[in-house]
Amino acid sequence: MIGRILFRLRSLTVIPFILILIYFAQPTFTSALIGAVPVILGECLRLWAVGYAGGATRSRTLGAASNLVTTGPYAHVRNPLYLGNLLLSLGVCIIANVYWMIIVLLVGYFAQYLPIIASEEAYLRESCGTTYQTYYAAVPRFIPQLRSYANPSTHSFSLSRALKAERRTLTAIACVIGLIVGAAMLVH
List pLDDT tens digits, range 133-152: 999 999 999 999 999 999 99
Residue 99 has φ and ψ, to the nearest 5°, of -70, -30
Helix (H, G, I), strand (E, B) or coil at 52: helix
Nearest to 123 by CA among 134, 132, 111, 114: 132
Distances (CA, A) of 74 to 25, 48, 64, 107, 125: 34, 9, 17, 24, 16
| pLDDT for the residue 188 | 60
Domain that holds residue 19: 2-187
For residues 157 and 51, the answer to whether their CB atoms sit within 8 Å is: yes
Helix (H, G, I), strand (E, B) or coil at 103: helix
- Which residues neighbour 140 within 8 Å (Cβ) at sequence distance 6 or greater? 77, 78
The pLDDT tens digits of the residues spanning 68-116 come to: 999 999 999 999 999 999 999 999 999 999 999 999 999 999 999 999 9
DSSP state letter for 168: H
- Work out how many domains the chain is built from and give that number: 1
Residue 154 has pLDDT above 60, yes or no: yes
pTM: 0.88
Task: Provide the pLDDT confidence category of residue 63 given band limits of 50, 70 and 90.
Answer: low
Q: Domain with 164 in it: what CATH number?
A: 1.20.120.1630
For residues 60 and 137, the answer to whether their CB atoms sit within 8 Å is: no
| pLDDT for the residue 59 | 54
| pLDDT for the residue 56 | 62
For residues 93 and 36, the answer to whether their CB atoms sit within 8 Å is: no
How much is the average pLDDT of 172-188?
87
